Homo-oligomer: A and B are copies of this chain.
Amino acid sequence: MNRLLETFENYLKSNLPVSKTFHPHFEDALSLMLDAGGKRFRPMLLLSVVNSKNSLLIKSALPVALGLEMLHTYSLVHDDLPAMDDATLRRGFETLHKKYDEVTAILVGDALNTEAFNKIANAPLSSDVKIECIKVLSSDGGIDGMIIGQAIDCFFENQKLELSQLEFLHIHKTAKLIAGSLKMGAIIANYDLAIQEKLYNFGIDIGLLFQIQDDILDETQSSLEAGKTTHNDEAKNSFVNLLGLDGAINAANELALKCENSLISLDKDLYDSLNNLLIKYINRHK
């Protein structure tokens, strides 16, 4: 495992949320999905940006990275609820509402959302830096980002969207939190505002690229290759259904090139740090 990922995993496992009471399973439920893994993509983006400037800051950035992972994890827990995806598996484990009950899943999600801000507020960083991080996380992870994206995704599940609406959906549902992860890293590392903004815009492109790639791979891969159900309903709002397969591949190629150019335009340390993390994703649709 990459050294930075190992550092994060070790920190996470030593800092799982604690809630020792006479409730028979709440504490276990609270840490189950966090502990279960996942790619840790968002915390790794944040830590990679910090690492590119000053590796001594990683230790202070870890609570912010964990807060970010908590906020992402709560969104998965709530997306899996019966009223949304009614999923049975997540990160290789039974979803919380299946293993325990719906009340537990709702409250664990609520708890991780709130605790994300508690982790950041208690990080060993200046109050100014922590407030800027909290602004980013609560905006990109809230009504200006992830939540309105998810609301639109659910509401328009069986209604055809226009291309601009589909882009709006995915920029908000996914790309903004990815962009925010890079920006929080830049805030902690004390990169100037121009670089913060550049990284944020890069993150929006990366997030959108991933979604177009997902739609392409859903069309071109067998379920066996993808490790999940592919060839979903044709009525689904997807870039492939809206643009055709060739059109979607063209869009992904264009965005991948834009992302590569953005990466190359960064200073060397940032380029090395992020390229290392992203290289395996940028052209995965080809």
**Chain A positions near chain B (C-beta within 8 angstroms):** 17-19, 21-24, 26, 30, 71, 74-75, 78, 81, 83-84, 101-104, 106-107, 109-111, 113-115, 117-118, 121-122, 126-128, 130-131, 134-135, 138-139, 141-144, 147-148, 150-152, 154-155, 165, 168
Contacts and interface: CB of A to CB of B under 8 A. Distances in A.
B143 A114 contact: yes
B147 A121 contact: no
Contact of A141 (B22, B114, B141): B114
7 contacts: A22-B165, A22-B168, A23-B155, A30-B143, A84-B103, A103-B154, A117-B134
Given A127-B127, A131-B130, A84 B111 contact: no
Contacts of A114: 71, 113, 138, 141-143, 147
Given A118-B139, A138-B118, A84 B113 contact: no
A211 to B, nearest CB: 18
Contacts of A83: 101-103, 106
A278 to B, nearest CB: 27
A156 to B, nearest CB: 8
Interface centre among A101, A103, A144, A151 (most CB of B within 10 A): A151
A17 B143 contact: yes
Nearest to A129: B127
A160 to B, nearest CB: 13
A114 B26 CA distance: 22
A107 B147 CA distance: 7
Contacts of A150: 107
A124 to B, nearest CB: 12
Nearest to A67: B138
A165 to B, nearest CB: 6
